């Protein structure tokens, strides 16, 4: 019997799945102590940690904002407020060098007063009055949150207001006295993935358990949620059933009836005023995959199926995102992973299509704010690998206004950012970006990637990577492998389930291409990834160990035999497959890192980083992998933060410590290395 066919019952490390069991935590504390002793001792680590903390806490960072009525809202962390401030100001004040911020909630003070390790998770503000909100706080950064109603006029939590205990809840305002709720109410209320299965309409002052049931999904669904569209003149209610990660159903609520908006399950449907937008993931009749389509909602519900094609992909261009202002639709597209913006405007004679004027073609342009209710305002974050962020505001058709420029966090003199293409095993060209100084090549190189869930990896400015890696002479590489969304849904669909191997072949091809171009050597090439990217790292470790000098795997999936049984894992079976299906386990078992780590191999040193409070990807993935590798005598380090959730850090101090560990590990292994 090979390692890849070991029955689950024979797993000697199942006890490490007991997240907060004392035996498991004793093991965690011992591993943490070993990692800290080996990596966190001495002046170099302390200097690196302090430099990164300085970047994260810098007072001159851009305070990104979201408009709600007359106010711009911001959540801010710094050295004096590690858990953060939720605050607001006006646009007039925001334009000044030092805005006058009104603090709404001081999370540090709240945590201290209540003896809790609160981490901010957001707030849903009631429209149109904007007087109340539903605040979500988590313990230690977990996905599960506590919900509390907050009064934005009196700046205090509402006595006897809407509240929910800790759970992976879904809440949305209907009006001041009613909300939609999906939460844990005991047996049958959650899906197999641990998310709400039932949508209720809860009336203020009544028991939640007695509230009206609006919709029930199936246990095997990922989740369901209800929400209210408060757009003046277009008030409507919807229910969305997420069948799996890529299939959903959207229902329009009409009294006690629910009318399904009849688009393909794997298409994304959204409604704005009179318009229905549909984003296809696979071909739908005459419409290709990756297209954005529009129709009048009332006409569509009446049976009309003629759609206007607003965007159609080609071999180099895909749709990255879109968002409405009051009268216009802004499209962000990727052309060979470079951002372009367009403005579409509905008119009596069709849709007008224009470029968004004045936007610089530098790196990536992210749409970070729009006003879909009252105006055509938008805000853009413009950045590149070596260009710090600039926050730009405008209104469609008007001039652009620079609101904020972030200062440089590292010296980029002599650094360049270039795009190359590697050739994967099946001949597909795989783009990747290289950032660094050519005189330092070949030299220590950090390669990162993700390759899953149609998530695109675009150029970005990182003071952490810049200060901790680039400024010290390292080269940074970002790979755009399949499984992502850089070239639309087909780029992702080529690498799911039975074709998952393409993700790993793509990443391995980039690693080989870096060596062939003389950018690095195998012994000087380190790799890093988190979550699905942590799985990628585990596969590189077990399948391509000869190509790397060091590996960092963060909050990873690794035991793919049991991933669907742990926390939110069942929600990802549309990506990876069902391990309980013999045919699907056959291809999963070929790459599952935990089942494919063997004794007597020449594996590079590896560091695993995770969090006890990660309630999305179970920390046992990393725990069990480390235990097995230690059993085999490999060079493996492990650090598990007790707080932090899926980000493995609950505040900037923890984040600086985590990244300092990662960089210290990589520099120890890669600096000075020439060959293995």
pLDDT digits (tens, 9 = 90+) for 465-491: 999 999 999 999 999 999 999 999 999
Q: What angle, rounded to 10 degrees, do the helices at 620-631 and 22-39 form? A: 70
pLDDT tens digits, 217-248? 999 999 999 999 999 999 999 999 999 999 99
pLDDT of residue 362: 66
Among 531, 553, 592, 611, the active-site one is 531
Kindly report the average pLDDT of the chain as a whole number. Answer: 95
pLDDT of residue 572: 97
In terms of Cβ atoms closer than 10 Å to its own Cβ (0-12, 13-18, 19+), residue 321 is middle
Contact 224, 172 (CB under 8 A): no
Whether the per-residue pLDDT at 446 is higher than 50: the answer is yes
Among 228, 272, 639, 646, the active-site one is 646
Output the CA torsion 660→662→665→667 (10° steps). Answer: -70
Q: Enter the tokens of residue 309.
A: 């094609």
Whether the per-residue pLDDT at 2 is higher than 60: the answer is no
Q: Respond yes or no: is residue 646 known to be catalytic.
A: yes
Distance from C-alpha of 105 to C-alpha of 150, rounded to nearest angstrom = 9
CA distances from 340 to 314, 382, 526 (A): 14, 11, 32
Segments in 237-329 forming alpha helices (H): 297-301
Long-range contacts at 335-341 (CB < 8 A, ≥ 24 apart)? 336/419, 336/431, 337/419, 337/431, 337/433, 337/456, 337/457, 337/458, 337/459, 337/480, 337/486, 338/363, 338/364, 338/459, 339/363, 339/364, 339/365, 339/366, 339/458, 341/365, 341/367, 341/380
Half-sphere exposure of 62 (CA within 13 A, CB side): 24
For residue 243, the SS3 value is coil
Q: Record the pTM.
A: 0.93
Domain positions in the chain are: 19-53+409-670
For residue 256, the SS3 value is coil
Q: What's the 3-state SS for 326-395?
A: CCCEEEEEEECCEEEEEEEEEECCEEEEEECCCCCCCCEEEEEEECCCCCCEEEEEEECCCCCCEEEEEE
pLDDT of residue 9: 59
Distance from C-alpha of 236 to C-alpha of 271, rounded to nearest angstrom = 10
Segments in 10-42 forming alpha helices (H): 22-39
Segments in 228-320 forming alpha helices (H): 297-301
- Closest residue by Cα to residue 447 from 398, 515, 351, 500: 515
pLDDT tens digits, 404-434? 999 999 999 999 999 999 999 999 999 999 9
Contact 293, 307 (CB under 8 A): yes
Whether the per-residue pLDDT at 11 is higher than 60: the answer is yes
For residue 153, the SS3 value is coil
Whether the per-residue pLDDT at 7 is higher than 90: the answer is no
Distance from C-alpha of 276 to C-alpha of 106, rounded to nearest angstrom = 40
Cis peptide before 128 (omega within 30 of 0): yes
Question: How big is the CA angle at 497 (ends 492 and 498), to the nearest 5 degrees?
Answer: 110
How many CB atoms neighbour CB 146 within 10 A? Answer: 18
pLDDT of residue 649: 67
What are the backbone angles phi and psi of residue 400, rounded to the nearest 5°? -90, 145
Mean pLDDT of 167-174: 98
Q: Enter the tokens of residue 404.
A: 């904020």
Distance from C-alpha of 344 to C-alpha of 158, rounded to nearest angstrom = 42
Contact 335, 31 (CB under 8 A): no
What is the CA 227 to chain-centroid distance, rounded?
22
Half-sphere exposure of 73 (CA within 13 A, CB side): 16
Contacts of 254 (CB under 8 A, 6+ apart): none
Distance from C-alpha of 151 to C-alpha of 399, rounded to nearest angstrom = 36
- Closest residue by Cα to residue 465 from 639, 268, 666, 646: 666
For residue 85, the SS3 value is strand
For residue 12, the SS3 value is coil
pLDDT of residue 360: 73
pLDDT of residue 4: 42
For residue 458, the SS3 value is coil
How many CB atoms neighbour CB 50 within 10 A? Answer: 11
Stated as kind and residue range, the H or E segment containing 180 is: strand 178-182
Whether the per-residue pLDDT at 675 is higher than 80: the answer is no
Whether the per-residue pLDDT at 20 is higher than 70: the answer is yes
Confidence of residue 42 (pLDDT cuts 50, 70, 90): confident
pLDDT of residue 3: 40
pLDDT of residue 6: 44
Mean pLDDT of 38-55: 93
- Closest residue by Cα to residue 179 from 226, 216, 147, 138: 226
Top CATH class, 19-53+409-670: alpha beta
Cis peptide before 454 (omega within 30 of 0): no
pLDDT of residue 648: 66
Long-range contacts at 2-11 (CB < 8 A, ≥ 24 apart)? 3/595, 3/596, 3/597, 3/598, 4/589, 4/590, 4/592, 4/595, 4/596, 5/589, 5/595, 6/595, 8/561, 8/562, 11/562, 11/624
């Amino acid at each position: 019997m090979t390692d890849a066919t070991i029955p689950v019952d024979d797993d000697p490390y199942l006890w490490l799945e007991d997240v907060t069991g004392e035996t498991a935590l004793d093991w965690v504390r011992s591993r943490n102590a070993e990692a800290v002793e080996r990596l966190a001792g001495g002046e170099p680590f302390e200097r690196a940690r302090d430099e990164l903390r300085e970047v994260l806490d810098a007072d001159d960072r851009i305070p990104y904002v979201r408009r709600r009525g007359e106010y711009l809202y911001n959540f801010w962390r710094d050295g004096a407020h590690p858990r953060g401030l939720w605050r607001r100001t006006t646009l007039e004040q925001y334009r000044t060098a030092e805005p006058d911020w009104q603090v709404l909630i001081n999370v540090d003070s709240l945590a201290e007063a209540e003896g809790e390790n609160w981490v901010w998770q957001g707030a849903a503000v009631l429209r149109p009055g904007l007087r109340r909100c539903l605040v979500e706080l988590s313990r230690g950064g977990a996905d599960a949150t506590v919900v509390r109603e907050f009064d934005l006029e009196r700046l205090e939590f509402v006595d006897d207001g809407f509240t929910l205990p800790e759970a992976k809840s879904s809440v949305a305002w209907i009006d001041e006295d009613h909300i939609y709720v999906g939460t844990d109410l005991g047996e049958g209320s959650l899906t197999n993935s641990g998310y709400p299965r039932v949508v209720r309409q809860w009336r203020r002052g009544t028991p939640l358990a007695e509230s009206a049931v609006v919709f029930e999904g199936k246990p095997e669904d990922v989740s369901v949620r209800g929400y209210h569209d408060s757009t003046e003149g277009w008030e409507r209610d919807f229910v969305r059933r997420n069948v799996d990660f890529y299939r959903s159903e959207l229902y329009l609520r009409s009294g006690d009836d629910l009318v399904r908006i009849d688009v393909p399950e794997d298409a994304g449907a959204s409604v704005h005023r009179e318009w229905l937008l549909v984003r296809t993931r696979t071909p739908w009749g005459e419409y290709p995959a990756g297209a954005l389509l529009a129709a009048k909602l009332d006409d569509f519900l009446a049976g009309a199926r003629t759609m206007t094609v607003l965007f159609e992909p080609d071999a180099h261009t895909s749709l990255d995102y879109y968002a409405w202002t009051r009268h216009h639709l802004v499209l962000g597209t990727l052309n060979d992973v470079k951002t372009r913006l367009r403005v579409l405007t509905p008119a009596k004679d069709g849709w007008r299509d224009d470029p968004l004027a004045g936007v610089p073609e530098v790196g990536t342009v992210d749409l970070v704010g729009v006003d879909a209710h009252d105006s055509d305002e938008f805000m853009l974050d413009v950045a590149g690998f070596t260009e710090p962020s600039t926050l730009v505001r405008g209104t469609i058709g008007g001039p652009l206004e620079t609101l904020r420029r972030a200062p440089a966090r590292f010296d980029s003199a002599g650094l360049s950012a270039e795009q190359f293409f590697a050739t994967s095993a099946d001949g597909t060209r795989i783009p990747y970006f290289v950032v660094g100084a050519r005189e330092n090549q070949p030299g220590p190189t950090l390669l990162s990637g993700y390759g899953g869930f149609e998530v695109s990896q675009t150029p970005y400015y990182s003071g952490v990577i810049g200060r901790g890696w680039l400024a010290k002479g390292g080269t940074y590489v970002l790979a755009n492998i399949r499984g992502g969304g850089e070239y639309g849904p087909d780029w992702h669909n080529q690498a799911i389930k039975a074709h998952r191997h393409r993700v790993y072949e793509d990443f391995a091809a980039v690693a080989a291409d870096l060596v062939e171009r003389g950018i690095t050597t195998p012994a000087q090439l380190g790799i890093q990834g988190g979550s699905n990217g942590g799985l990628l790292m585990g596969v590189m470790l077990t399948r391509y160990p000869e190509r790397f000098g060091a590996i960092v795997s963060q909050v990873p999936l690794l035991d793919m035999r049991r991933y669907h049984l742990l926390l939110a894992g069942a929600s990802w079976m549309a990506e990876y497959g069902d391990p309980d299906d013999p045919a699907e386990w056959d291809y999963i078992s070929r790459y599952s890192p935990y089942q494919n780590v063997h004794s007597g191999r020449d594996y590079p040193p590896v560091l695993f980083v995770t969090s006890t409070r990660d309630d999305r990807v179970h920390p046992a993935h990393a725990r069990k992998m480390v235990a097995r590798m230690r059993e085999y005598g490999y060079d493996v380090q492990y650090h598990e933060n007790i707080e932090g959730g899926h980000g493995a850090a609950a505040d900037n101090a923890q984040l600086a410590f985590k990244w300092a560990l990662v960089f210290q590990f990589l520099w120890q292994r890669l600096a000075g290395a020439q060959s293995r």
